[in-house]
Amino acid sequence: MAIPFNKGRRPYEGIAFQFSHHVVYEDGRIEHKGEYINTERGMFPNYEFVRRLKSELSQDKGTIFKYSPHENTYLNMIYEQLQTEKTVIKDKEDLCDFIQEISHSKKDSIYSWKGERDMVDMLNLVKWYFYDPATNGSNSIKQVLPAILNNSDYLKEKYSKPIYGTDQIPSYNFKNKVWVEIEEGKNIVKDPYSLLEQMFQDADKCNQLISSNEEIKDGGAAMTAYAKMQFEEMSDYEKSELTSSLLKYCELDTMAMVMIYESFKDKIG
């Protein structure tokens, strides 16, 4: 944002306020393993973000997937923030070591590293091996996911059942969720992001500033929702609705990566 959220920070400086984490086990089991979101006003969340991410990803030595260079870029940014931080961060070295373990340095960085668990970019796999006219030439995960679902009988069969958010596939934010629905009168799968619930359905509990029915379906909307929680006066109901919607949106983003992985694995055999 042009106006920093926190004292002492720079305009347009990146904020890492939430993540989601799924695990695919060797035997094929899937689990929404963890998540983090900062809802505290005035808190600079980036260092706590890395602490929580370290806690999640240090539980095993599995391959870590990302989608696009975005995650690597933000970890590089937080690394530089830690290196130039004027206040004492007691676990600074631990956090920096963890960032180096799961990422690689930018080409123009004064620091240089390539981590042992450097994240694997699924976007590259999509660019190299997947094309569908339904994506309209976009490699965005928001466009790729519906196209992948339409092309995979395996995923259609699996996720047309209410198995997500059950003992079969545990979830923090969904219960008995069906991710594959067919558009009426058409033989195409609905965009799963359109299946996310609208917010603020109880208008009597809303302030005037954010009383409209909204959906969080992309990163811009998520950033706007976070900004509202930082700056606007709102009821406990509105804060709860925004938090819940941000968590569900972020969880779907990483579940989308799981479904893309499953589709590729099924095609390979």
* pLDDT value of position 204: 53
Q: Is residue 10 part of a domain?
A: no
44-97, pLDDT tens digit by residue?
Answer: 999 999 999 999 999 999 999 999 999 999 999 999 999 999 999 999 999 999
Least confident of 101-105, 134-138, 161-165: 134-138
Cβ 259 vs Cβ 145: under 8 Å: yes
Give domain status of residue 12, yes or no: no
Lowest-confidence segment of 33-37, 73-77, 87-91, 216-220 by average pLDDT? 216-220
**Which residue range(s) make up the domain with 165?**
18-268
DSSP β-bridge partners for residue 120: 65
User: Which pLDDT score is estimated for 269?
Assistant: 74
Query: Which amino acid type is present at position 172?
Result: Y
Angle between helices 141-151 and 236-268 (to 10 degrees): 50
Residue 164 corresponds to which amino acid?
A: Y
The answer to whether position 244 is within a domain reads: yes
Q: Is the pLDDT confidence value at 36 over 50?
A: yes
Q: Read off the tokens for 227.
A: 């900004």
Residue 266 structure tokens: 């099924």
**Total domain count, the chain:** 1
Predicted confidence (pLDDT) at residue 19 exceeds the cutoff of 70: yes
Q: Is 259:36 a contact under the CB 8 Å cutoff?
A: no
Task: Name the pLDDT band for 135 (thresholds 50, 70, 90).
Answer: very high
Distance between CA atoms of residues 20 and 256, nearest Å: 11
- Whether residue 48 is contained in a domain is answered as yes
Q: Is residue 53 part of a domain?
A: yes
At 189, is the pLDDT very low, low, confident or very high (cuts 50, 70, 90)? very high
Q: Which two tokens stand for residue 188?
A: 């195409």
104 secondary structure, DSSP code: B
Percentage of the chain beyond pLDDT 90 is 74
Look at residue 4 and tell me if it is in a domain.
Answer: no
Q: Rounded to whole angstroms, how far apart are CA atoms 20 and 141?
A: 15
Q: Which residues, in sequence order, are CB contacts of 128 under 8 Å at separation 6+?
A: none
Work out the pLDDT band at 214, boundaries 50, 70, 90: low
Residue 9: inside a domain, yes or no? Answer: no
Q: In this predicted structure, what is the pLDDT of residue 10? A: 87
The mean per-residue pLDDT over the stretch 133-155 comes to: 95
Close Cβ partners of 124 (under 8 Å, ≥ 6 residues apart): none
Q: Is the pLDDT at 141 greater than 50, yes or no?
A: yes
Give domain status of residue 129, yes or no. yes
Helix axes of 46-57 and 92-102: crossing angle, nearest 10 degrees: 60
